[in-house]
Amino acid sequence: MAASTLEYALRRDRLIVGAALAALTVLAWLYTLRLAGTMVDAPMGMEMPGMGGAGPMGEAMAPGLRPWSGIDFLFTFVMWAVMMIGMMTPSAAPMVLIYAHVGRRAAEQGKPLAATGFFAGGYLLAWTGFSLAATAGQWLLERALLLTPMMASASGVFSGLILVAAGLYQWTPQKAACLRHCQAPLSFIQSHGGFRRDPAGSLAVGFRHGLYCIGCCWALMALLFVGGIMNLLLIAAIAAFVLAEKVLPRAWPVSRLAGLVLFATGLWLLAGQLA
């Protein structure tokens, strides 16, 4: 009877944590979908961060850029942060569910861990920091006139260089090392001090896991500057690929195959621009 009660509690906790992660993902995607719809309407007179009022056709064909205000920067930062939550929460779910499972077992033994939310919060905090860097990058690229009003690359050479760089990174030892940490949740936690009972420690482990995840995925996120930061198909494709990298068997060379495709596409694009 006691064993059945414990099994039920474990299933219930996993369901609660899984439902919370799913709800967070859905809310983030709903915000992103709404924002993408706004972006489609932007050339019809709505100004977005970094765009001037050049008129409907002027905004659609040429970026009448203006200096960003503080509100522009904040709006763009929130956009990136919510988008990263929607993209990365599913790939973090296995790790978070393992933490919740171990946490329930520890609680049954009278040695409770810090709440799962601290670990998940640390992970998302790392991606929030990445969002800040991405916002700054977008600002710099817009100042350099390398992005269109629809926040996609305005230069074939720039696009080619990003694709080549992203493809090459897929083959680096740094990518492989970060991916190994993401593919082995238990090994990662054990190699970084184990499961923590103090909230600060749990937050730190989640944050460190997020940093490894950023190390694994940052070059893929740079592809948004090529195909469009609000390109929903590209966002979904990157999110799905990141999840596949983490959950597929290590023997499957999906990362390096993708690197070859990106590298070859970048070279083809550069050759076309320089011909």
pLDDT for 45 equals: 39
Beta partners for 65?
51
Sign, CA dihedral 212-214-219-221, equals: positive
User: Is the separation of the CB atoms in 63 and 145 below 8 Å?
Assistant: yes
Q: Is 20 exposed, middle or buried (0-12, 13-18, 19+ CB in 10 A)?
A: middle
The predicted pLDDT at position 98 comes to: 82
Q: What is the pLDDT, as a whole number, of residue 84?
A: 95
Q: How many residues does the chain have?
A: 275
Q: What is the reported pLDDT for 61?
A: 31
Task: Supply the pLDDT for residue 126.
Answer: 96
pLDDT value of position 184:
84
Q: Running along the chain, 275 residues long, what does each successive block of 10 average in pLDDT? A: 47 73 88 80 48 37 62 94 93 84 76 82 95 96 89 92 97 94 82 80 91 95 94 93 88 90 96 82
What integer pLDDT is reported at residue 104 of this predicted model?
A: 76
Give the contacts of 85 (CB within 8 A, at least 6 positions apart). 24, 25, 28, 124, 127
Query: What is the H or E stretch that residue 211 is in?
Result: helix 199-221
Model pLDDT, residue 11: 56
Distance CA 64, CA 147 (A): 11
Number of structural domains the chain divides into:
1
Q: Which two tokens stand for residue 246?
A: 């983490």
270: part of which helix (H) or strand (E)?
helix 254-274
Question: Cβ-count burial of 36 within 10 angstroms (0-12 exposed, 13-18 middle, 19+ buried)?
Answer: middle
What residue numbers bound the domain in which 46 lies? Answer: 2-274
Q: How far apart are CA 146 and CA 222, in angstroms?
A: 13
Q: Which amino acid is at 31?
A: Y
**Number of Cβ atoms within 10 Å of the Cβ of 145:** 12
Report the predicted TM-score, pTM, of the whole model to 2 decimal places: 0.83
Query: How many Cβ atoms sit within 10 Å of the Cβ of residue 57?
Result: 10
